[in-house]
Structure 1
Amino acid sequence: MTALRERLGQLGTRIAPGAGGFWSWWVSSLQSWLPARWRLLLGVSGARVLLSPQGGQVHVLQAQGAEALLQQSLQAPLLPEALEAALSPRDARLPRCALLPAGKALRKPMRLPAAADGRLHDVLRFEIDRQTPFTAEQVYFDVRLLGRQADGQLDVELVVAPRTVVETLLQPREAWQGQLDGVDVADAQGQPLGVNLLPAALRRQRQDPMRRLNRMLVLGSAVLLVLAGWQLLDNRRQAAATLAAQVEAASVRARAVATQRQQLQDLVDGQAFFAQQRAAQPTATEVINELSQRLDDDTSLEKLSIEAGRMQLIGMSRSSSSLVSRLEGSSLWKTPSLTGVLQAGGGDRRERFTLTAELLAPRKEAADGAATRTP
C-alpha cells in the first residue's frame, strides 16, 4: 500500500463512525473513475505482488482485492534482486507482500463497540493477552473489519502471527529485511485476507510518487502567494499615490478658493467699513449746502476741510464773531467754535477766522433722501 493510499485511509478514520461507510463508498467511486494506468501510477489500484513460499519454490502471485492469480514460480531461496529481474516493469512498481499460509496465523472474530472505530489497532493491542496465547510483544497483528451492526457495533477479526514466523517467512532473512511492503495471510482457499501484519517500521521505504508533485505544488503556491501579495501591495501603493495626488490637487484648489474667499471677505469688509464711515458723517455736498444757507454774503471761505469727523473752516468775514451763532443748531454738526485769533484781512474791515465743528451722523430721513432741502 503506497503512501497516498495510507493517507486516504488515515483521513477516512478521522471521520465520524456513522460516515465511515459513505467515506469508503465515495473514495472507491472516485477511484473507479480513474483509468487503470492512473490508478496503478498513483498506487490506488489495489494491485499487489504476493510472494508465497511453498516447499522449494516461491510462488509469485498478482493480487487484485481478495483474488490472487499465480504468475510464476521462482526457485527458493529467492533474493530481492532475482525477483526484480523476474518481474515485468509494470509489476515491479507494485507493492510486494509475503503471503503467510493460513495455518501459521491465528484469527479471532470479535465484536467491538462503535466507539472503537478509528482506533482498532490501539484497542485490540490490549486484547491480545486475553484473546490469544501470546503477548503483544511476541506477535505481529492486524485487524480486519468484517461489518457493522444496526446498533453501530463493529464485527472485526483479530489476525496474529508469531514474530519469528513472520520474520523467517522469506529466506535469506537478512536479504529481505526492509524489502517488503507487508505480510498478508491466506485464508482456507489460499486467497489473501487483505491484512498487513508487518509493522510500519519494518516495511520497505517507498518514495511517495506524489512527493515531488506535492513539493512543486507547495513551491508554486508559495510563489503565487508571494506574487499575489506583491501585486496587492503594489496596487495599494499605486492607489495611495493616486489618492495623495488627488488630495494634493484638492488642497491646492481649496487653498486657492480660501485665498479668493479671504480677498472677497476683505473687499466686503472694506466696503462695509467705508459705508459705515460714510454713514457716520454727512456728505461734503450736504455740508456745503448747509454752509451756503447759514453764511451771509460778507463771508467767504478760503478752505473747507472735513477729516476724522471734524470740519474746519478758514475764511474772511466782516462779522466773524457772529459766525458761531449762525452755525449753531445745524443737524450736520455741533459745537462750532472759533480757534485762534481773529486777524485783520485788509482795508474792507474783514477779518480772517478759523472755525471748527464736530460733524454729526445724518438723520435717517436725510440718509434715505426723504427730507429735501431747498437752497
Structure 2
Amino acid sequence: MRETPEFPRAVEMVRGHLDPRAGERLREVLGFEIDRQTPFAADEAQYDARVLGTRGDGQLDVELVVVPRATLDAALAALGPLAPTLAGVDAADADGAPLGLNLLGDARRLRREDPWRRRNAVMLLVAALALFAGMWQMLANRQAAAELFEQQVEESVRQARAASLEKRRLLDLVEGGAFLQSARAGTPTMVELMDELARRLPDGTYLEKLSIEGDRILLIGLSSEASSLVGRLQGSTLWTAPALAGALQPDPRSRMDRFTLTATVARGQAGVPAAATAGEAGDAAAAD
C-alpha cells in the first residue's frame, strides 16, 4: 500500500514569484534559495515546491516548503518497519490540509513496479516475434511461389522450343518430300526408259549393257542396223541428244556391229504416252 505521511507545522514555507520559464524546473530553481530564504542549510534539509497561481503580469506565485532532515528522519524512525515502504512524505497547512508535496528524497522513495509491466513486455516481445515469423513465412511463401512460377515458365519455354523444333523438322520433311516428289515427277523412271528403248530399237539389236548415271544414259551392244540407231532414238521425249560414242566395231562372230550410244535423260517429260513415242520412232525409221 502506498502511504504518504503528513508533517505537522515543523516546516518552513517561503512564498515568492518566478519567471514562468522557470516553471519546468521549479524544484531545481528553488533549491538554490534554501540557504538564503530559510534558516536551514541545503544539505541539511528536505524540500519541495509548488505553484500557487499566476499573477497578472505572467509571473508565477510559488511556495518553497523545507523541513530539517533530522526532523524527517525522526518522523520516519517513529514509523518503524513502515518507513521503507513509503512512497512520499507530505506537509500540512495551517488548517491541517495536505499541501500535495513530497518531501522524501528521490533516493529514499519506494518505487513499486507495475506487476503487468514485465508481462506486457513479454507479450510485446512474443507479438513482435510472431509478427516477424509471420512476415518471414509470407516472404518465404512468396519466394517459393516465385520459384515455382519461374520453373513453370522455363518448362513452358522448353515445351515451346521443342514444339518449334518438331515443327521445323516436320516442315523440312514435307519440303524434302515435296522436292523429291517433284524431282521424281519430272524424271522418267527406269521402266519408262526401258519400255521406250524396246519400242525404238530394231529387232536385230541386242544390248550388253544399259546404265543410267545421273542424267547420262549409256547403251553398249550389238546390232545389224547400228548405223540407224541414232536416228531411231531421236525424237523421244524421255531423252535428248542421242549419239554414237566412237566408231562402230564389226563383230566377226555375230556378223554385227558393236556400238556405244549415249543420251541425256530429259527432265519434266515423265509419263508421256508410249503411243506418241512409238509414233515418233516410226517416223524416224521411215526417214532413215
Shorter-chain TM range is 0.5 to 0.7
Q: What is residue 281 of structure 2 aligned with on the other side?
A: none
Q: What is residue 353 of structure 1 aligned with on the other side?
A: 260
Q: What is residue 314 of structure 1 aligned with on the other side?
A: 219
1:197 to 97, 103, 116: 103
Opposite residue 32 of structure 2, the aligned amino acid is D
Query: Contact 2:76/2:83 (CA < 8 Å) preserved in 1?
Result: no
TM-score by length of 2: 0.62
Opposite residue 220 of structure 1, the aligned amino acid is V
1:210 to 97, 113, 116: 116
Q: Deviations over 1:76-132 (max 9, x none)?
A: xxxxxxxxxxxxxxxxx3x11122335614243534446x67xx23x6524532575
1:100 to 7, 10, 17: 7
Q: Secondary structure at the match of 1:207?
A: coil
Query: Contact 1:343/1:351 (CA < 8 Å) preserved in 2?
Result: yes
Measured in 2, the distance between the counterparts of 1:246 and 1:154 equals: 79
Q: What is residue 257 of structure 1 aligned with on the other side?
A: 163
Question: Relative to structure 1, is the Cα distance of residues 149 and 157 closer, same or farther in structure 2, using a 3 angstrom cutoff?
Answer: closer
Question: Relative to structure 1, is the Cα distance of residues 209 and 352 closer, same or farther in structure 2, using a 3 angstrom cutoff?
Answer: same
Question: Relative to structure 1, is the Cα distance of residues 335 and 200 closer, same or farther in structure 2, using a 3 angstrom cutoff?
Answer: farther
For structure 1, the residue ranges without an aligned partner over 5 or more in a row are 1-92, 368-372
Q: What is residue 283 of structure 1 aligned with on the other side?
A: 187
Q: Going by fraction, where is helix more abundant, 1 or 2?
A: 2
Q: What is residue 129 of structure 1 aligned with on the other side?
A: 32
Instruction: Please report how far the alpha carbon of residue 244 of structure 1 lies from its aligned counterpart in structure 2 after TM superposition.
Output: 6.3
Alignment of 1:301-340 (within 5 A): 305-307=211-213, 309-316=214-221, 317=223, 318-319=225-226, 323=230, 338=245
Point out the structure with max Rg over C-alpha.
Answer: 2
Query: Contact 2:245/2:261 (CA < 8 Å) preserved in 1?
Result: yes
Q: Secondary structure at the match of 2:218?
A: strand
Measured in 1, the distance between the counterparts of 2:179 and 2:84 equals: 108
Opposite residue 195 of structure 1, the aligned amino acid is L
Q: Deviations over 1:254-296 (max 9, x none)?
A: 46524533432442453365367x29x941169958x959x95
2:77 to 171, 174, 180: 171
Query: Contact 1:334/1:360 (CA < 8 Å) preserved in 2?
Result: no
Alignment of 1:23-34 (within 5 A): none
Instruction: Please report how far the alpha carbon of residue 210 of structure 1 lies from its aligned counterpart in structure 2 after TM superposition.
Output: 1.8
Measured in 1, the distance between the counterparts of 2:77 and 2:165 equals: 102
Measured in 2, the distance between the counterparts of 1:337 and 1:109 equals: 150
Percent of residue pairs identical:
28
Opposite residue 187 of structure 2, the aligned amino acid is T
Measured in 2, the distance between the counterparts of 1:150 and 1:337 equals: 146
Query: Larger relative CO (CA 8 A, sep 6+): 1 or 2?
Result: 2
Q: Deviations over 1:140-197 (max 9, x none)?
A: 444435567999x684635342451433332248856532101223233322232323
Instruction: Please report how far the alpha carbon of residue 337 of structure 1 lies from its aligned counterpart in structure 2 after TM superposition.
Output: 6.7
Question: Relative to structure 1, is the Cα distance of residues 150 and 251 closer, same or farther in structure 2, using a 3 angstrom cutoff?
Answer: farther
Q: What is residue 180 of structure 1 aligned with on the other side?
A: 86
How many positions carry a matched residue from both structures? 264
- Superposed CA RMSD: 5.1
Instruction: Please report how far the alpha carbon of residue 208 of structure 1 lies from its aligned counterpart in structure 2 after TM superposition.
Output: 1.8
Query: Contact 1:108/1:157 (CA < 8 Å) preserved in 2?
Result: yes
TM-score by length of 1: 0.50
Query: Contact 2:48/2:65 (CA < 8 Å) preserved in 1?
Result: yes
Opposite residue 349 of structure 1, the aligned amino acid is M
Query: Contact 2:200/2:232 (CA < 8 Å) preserved in 1?
Result: no
Q: Secondary structure at the match of 1:196?
A: coil
